[in-house]
Amino acid sequence: MRSVVAPGSSGEQLGRLFLAGVLVVFMPQLPLGNYVIYPFTILTTWFHEMGHGLTGMLLGHEFERLVIFTDGSGYAETRLDSDAGNLSHGLIAAGGPLGPVIIGAALILASSRRKRWRPALLVLAGLIALSALIWVRSTVGLVVLPLVGAAIAWIAYRGKDWAQRFSLQFLGVLAAMSMLRDWDYLFSHSAVIGGQPMLSDTGAMEEALLLPYWLWAIVLLAISAGTIAITLKYALAKGDGGPRRLR
């Protein structure tokens, strides 16, 4: 008999992930598209800037504040020790582009097991709320991020199984593919953020680690693509969301 894609199957999941990718890449090009995905734009900026800040903390430095502007750009301010070397500067710069990929991979992996769905969503909502209390220092961030966190927590408590799983996969791919949205930033030595010229992340890596910024952009994209490919392959192969197909 003819096979059809069943709810929870790999085919259905891939369809959802493809939809998320289209949303990230193409929605801003449509009329009013930027407004439709605005909360997600702010969230991906949060992923990015938290990557910078938390990398700094892991290296023993002080994460001071996170600022998000109305256009979706932002920056994380980290106070480095006076003896911080070039490696610390380079790793903190890399933490921004790689932060969303790591978080996205974690969310996608969590979607592979039903028992992880609610805890993963609650952890993400909690991190968003905690960061707003401790580090976020801009009106846009303080308004939008708590609303996004509350929506994620509501899905964790009230959403059906399919909604919880879809949310994890959607947010995971949204985070992971946000680097594609900012590819022109990665392949730039500098950028204007909040009206101020600043080194791009890859520009800062060039200054700290010598290799040209465009080469660092290629390295970061390769790491990201490899991480997400491996994660998706594992999550879709090990998922327990339901039967594979109906006949």
Residues 6+ apart with CB under 8 A from 147: 39
Residue with tokens 């993400």: 124
Q: What is the pTM of this model?
A: 0.86
Residues 6+ apart with CB under 8 A from 208: 86, 87, 89, 90, 93
Short-list 160, 165, 23, 194, CA closest to 107: 165
C-alpha 184, offset from chain centre: 17
Instruction: Tell me the C-alpha distance between 102 and 106, whole Å.
Output: 6
Q: What is the pLDDT along the chain (247 residues), one digit of tens a residue?
A: 444 444 455 656 666 666 666 666 677 677 777 787 889 889 989 999 999 999 999 999 999 999 999 988 999 999 988 778 899 999 999 999 998 889 988 998 898 889 999 999 999 999 999 999 999 999 999 999 999 999 999 999 999 998 998 899 888 888 877 776 677 888 999 988 878 889 999 999 999 998 999 999 999 989 888 888 888 777 777 665 544 333 3
